[in-house]
Chains A and B, each alone.
Chain A
Amino acid sequence: MFDYNFHWRPVMKNLPDLIEAAFLTLQVAVLAMIIGIVIGLCLALIRLHLKGPLYWFASSWVELARNTPVLFQLFFFGFGLGAFGLHLSPYVIVLAGLSFNCAGYLAENFRGGFQAVPDTQIRASRSLGMTAWQAYTRVIIPQVFRIVYHPITNQLVWAVLMSSLGMLVGFRELSGETQFFASRTFRIFEYFAVTAVIYYAIVKIVLLASRLLAARLFRY
């Protein structure tokens, strides 16, 4: 049918390497998410409660992360900072870029989550004798977590997908590894087809895991 011979053997030979690279992809995505959640939480709280320079800093972080392409953000951490003599390794570039991006997107989600919990609850818990810290960690955060759980899952999927841009800054995660092998054997289609399947599997596994976790966490 096609005037093209598919050669799957080199791909199958390198499959273990690709799967290993897939774990690197997952690792960088999860790390970026953890950093992103912590920073995003700070940004959201700053934007909700503070004024002045800190507010502007948080707002510009959020708007920059949301209104420029991820690839641009990676290039900025890669080449842009290189102009100041700050040369990061590809791993750090991807991790920093993804964390920056995730923090920006998650901050907006968290802000929505905090706004959805009525103010009166914090006053109620304070009048019950809780400290501000206790009120936040025991009353507010659990409720916010429930609201933002689904957006966090989506963001994790996005992080996995976006980490594929590491290929363009020389990071050898799943896409970078694929490109490396593909350019060595010229079996570009075959390699990328297998990689697409692996990404699909990762995304499905992440979604399944999050659904199981949700069923366990939100029983009540």
Chain B
Amino acid sequence: MEPTINFFSGFNFKDLWFLGEAALRTMWISVLSVSIGTVLGMFFGWLLYEGKLVAALTVAPILDIFRSVPLIIQLVLFYNFAPIVGLNLDPFGSGVVILTIYTAALVASVTRGGIEAVDTPMRRAARSLGMSYWQDLRYVVLPIGGRAVFPAWVGVALGVMKDSALVSVLGYVELLKASQILITRTQEPFLILTLAGAFYFALSYPISRYSASLEKRWVQ
């Protein structure tokens, strides 16, 4: 005789593997979006700084929209908008696109702040020493301004890592979604949520601590 099927089973070792895999997915989607978003955001930030009126009328309001609408609404909206214009994106693709633009919008203002942090006399001095515009940007603005806003950038990157949990609304099985699935099956919400939370914490806390210590060292 077949044993009766039990829908609820305890938390076991295999589930830990499932959670670990989901954690890797969280990291993968965050690393991908943060790295592309940072490059894009640096470009937009430079545009905001240099473009004056034109950028203020075009790029700035668009980036502002992405900062003023909840990420979860952006995700749902884009996921349902993509098929309308004929794009067939899976939850992962939509998540990456929106998280990337979201990161870019945040990094743009960080970058702009970084460029503004470099005094004009310093840049004039660089130019008078015969550096080209790009040399000035690369060898003067990047090291000085970059240091000034590095902690802010770390904050943005960690924020996006944490916000990547929202991609679960589209059905992408990242860490928080995986823990939700496990909770439904094992009925042990406290244990599983603690594990998931501990993972986020273990990833975020050392990095924020490190960036704070770097900031302290650079101030001196």
Taking beta carbons and an 8 Å cutoff, which residues of A are in contact with B? 2-4, 63-64, 66-72, 75-76, 79-80, 82-84, 157, 161-162, 164-165, 167-168, 175, 188-189, 192-193, 195-196, 199-200, 203-204
- Given A4-B84, A84-B190, A192-B80: A69 and B176 interface contact (C-beta under 8 Å): yes
| Neighbouring A residues of B130 by C-beta, 8 Å | none
CB pair A72–B196 under 8 Å, yes or no, is: yes
Would B183 and A67 count as touching, CB distance under 8 A?
no
Q: Across the interface, which residues of B come within 8 angstroms of A68, CB to CB?
A: 162, 197, 200-201, 204
Chain A residue numbers with a CB within 8 Å of B74 are 196
Contact of B208 among A66, A80, A162, A164 (CB under 8 A): A66
Whole-angstrom CA separation of A67 from B188 in the bound complex: 23
Could you show 21 A-B contacts with beta carbons less than 8 Å apart?
A: A64-B201, A68-B201, A69-B165, A69-B176, A71-B165, A72-B165, A72-B176, A75-B180, A75-B193, A80-B189, A157-B68, A161-B70, A162-B70, A164-B73, A165-B72, A165-B166, A167-B72, A196-B69, A199-B68, A200-B65, A204-B68
The tally of CB-CB contacts under 8 A between chains A and B is: 102
Tell me if B70 and A199 are in contact (CB < 8 A): yes
Classify the secondary structure of A's interface with B.
helix
CB distance from A62 to the nearest CB of B (A): 11
Given A64-B201, A72-B196, verify A175-B73 contact (CB < 8 Å): yes
Query: Which chain A residue has the least Cβ–Cβ distance from B208?
Result: A67
